[in-house]
Amino acid sequence: MTTALPTDEQLTAALSTVIDPEIRRPVTELGMVKSAVVDPDGTARVGIFLTVSGCPMKDTITSRVTEAVGALPGVARVDVELDVMSAEQRQQLQTLLRGDNPVREIPFAQPGSLTKVFAVASGKGGVGKSSVTVNLAAAMAQKGLNVGVLDADIYGFSVPRMLGVTHRPTQVESMIMPPAAHGVKVISIGMFTKDNTPVVWRGPMLHRALQQFLADVYWGDLDVLLMDLPPGTGDVAISVAQLVPSAEILVVTTPQLAAQEVAERAGSIALQTHQRIAGVVENMSYLECPHCDERIDVFGSGGGQAVASSLTTRLGAQVPLLGQVPIDVRLREGGDSGQPLVLSDPSASASKVMLDITEALAGKPRGLAGMSLGLSPAKRA
């Protein structure tokens, strides 16, 4: 007996399960399927349009097509032929994803946006702000959320390495497709520099770069966007408040008095920008003795709670201390290897605190605060 060959409908159904790794939608929806036939000998020949020549994800797409079509009864082997979209096809794809409006808007700044945006800030460098950002992002993605990270630390970018992102973004017409790692979409100026070249820019250029990252990058339908800000209260923090006024500030500090004082200043910028503060994270809170249950306060104690209490008083609204992350050498090792600790060892004490913070942030209701309702005060008769 011979096995019946799959029908065209079965081929289409199989290909509809193939998700483009950058756009995160089925290749059948994106116009990427050029052809699909099965020869009498059971050889499936599938033609796929890549968005651009030299697409960094072509091997991933090829393997996904091969796996999906190869699982059909009657298919003995799969030949995938890759082609490249024409300029017209790329324009159609851009219209499909962005609509006909040629004006590139920041989706997270629109009144109807449901994406939670957290600007991760610190008063000074070296408090582990980026480590907190990437671990929270990885934990949220692990929960099934669509997560993006914007590395807004233009001068001190480090997020790509810490998340293990190795390839550059793909540009389709005026859209930038961000690479992803651990289910997290990432964009950073470090992806556009060569050989660790330093970025020497003034304020207007920083603002423009941030605007492009927010408007030109195709983020898709994100649940959460984390923005890793540079230390202090300079140009980037001001630009974030202007470009995404609904972004909430997440303050990272250590127990050290010096870090506490500058963290309060970083959080107090919310008074001028009228932003919410999501809470305070105290990093490097203590060291767990490897030989006993004793906690060693390497950098002192109480700094995180002091920052939260001070900001509560200044803002007149409750600012919670979301968690105290202990010192764990594996946090540093994970940052160097691109494997966040919350994924490599979710049972670690530091991971558990990060996961608790994730629950507090991911389950936080968005509400209407910070959103423009398009209303104006009524005039009295």
The one-digit pLDDT tens for each residue of the chain (381 residues) are: 457 889 999 999 999 999 998 888 999 999 999 999 999 999 999 999 998 888 888 999 999 999 999 999 999 999 999 999 998 998 899 888 877 665 578 888 888 889 999 999 887 778 889 999 999 999 999 999 999 999 988 777 889 899 998 888 888 877 888 999 999 999 988 888 776 666 666 667 888 888 888 988 999 889 999 999 888 767 788 888 889 988 999 999 988 877 777 777 777 777 777 888 899 999 999 998 877 778 888 888 888 898 889 888 888 888 999 999 999 999 989 989 999 999 999 999 999 999 999 999 987 554 434 343 333 334 443
Is 118 in contact with 224 (CB distance < 8 Å)?
yes
Q: Are strands 43-50 and 184-188 parallel, antiparallel or unpaired?
A: unpaired
- Distance of alpha carbon 364 from the chain centroid: 18
Same structural domain, 143 and 186: yes
Same structural domain, 250 and 144: yes
Same structural domain, 19 and 139: no
Same structural domain, 275 and 236: yes
Specify if 180 maps to a domain: yes
Is 282 in contact with 263 (CB distance < 8 Å)?
no
Same structural domain, 147 and 28: no
Phi, psi angles (nearest 5°) of residue 44: -90, 125
Residues found in the chain: 381
Question: CATH code at 177?
Answer: 3.40.50.300
Is 168 in contact with 191 (CB distance < 8 Å)?
yes
Instruction: Measure CA of the first residue to CA of the last residue in the chain; give whole Å.
Output: 88
Q: State whether residue 208 is helix, strand or coil.
A: helix
**Which pair of tokens denotes residue 75?**
């298919």
Same structural domain, 139 and 236: yes
Question: CATH code at 48?
Answer: 3.30.300.130
Specify if 372 maps to a domain: no
- Domain end (from 69, 98, 127): 98
Query: Which residues partner with 248 through β-bridges?
Result: 118
Specify if 299 maps to a domain: yes
H or E stretch covering 268: helix 257-273
Which candidate, 54, 53, 49, places its Cα nearest to that of 81?
A: 49
Same structural domain, 27 and 148: no
Domain coverage including residue 242:
112-362
Specify if 46 maps to a domain: yes
Same structural domain, 84 and 227: no
Specify if 125 maps to a domain: yes
**Which pair of tokens denotes residue 97?**
């994803």
Specify if 129 maps to a domain: yes
Q: State whether residue 276 is helix, strand or coil.
A: coil
Specify if 135 maps to a domain: yes
Dist. CA 48–CA 30, nearest whole Å: 11
- Domain end (from 74, 98, 122): 98
In Å, what is the CA distance from 359 to each residue of 52, 140, 201, 365? 38, 8, 37, 12
Same structural domain, 137 and 19: no
Same structural domain, 217 and 296: yes
Same structural domain, 117 and 242: yes
Specify if 88 maps to a domain: yes
Same structural domain, 205 and 139: yes
Q: Specify the number of domains making up the chain.
A: 2
Amino acid at residue number 243: L
Query: Which residues partner with 43 through β-bridges?
Result: 77
- Domain end (from 98, 120, 143): 98
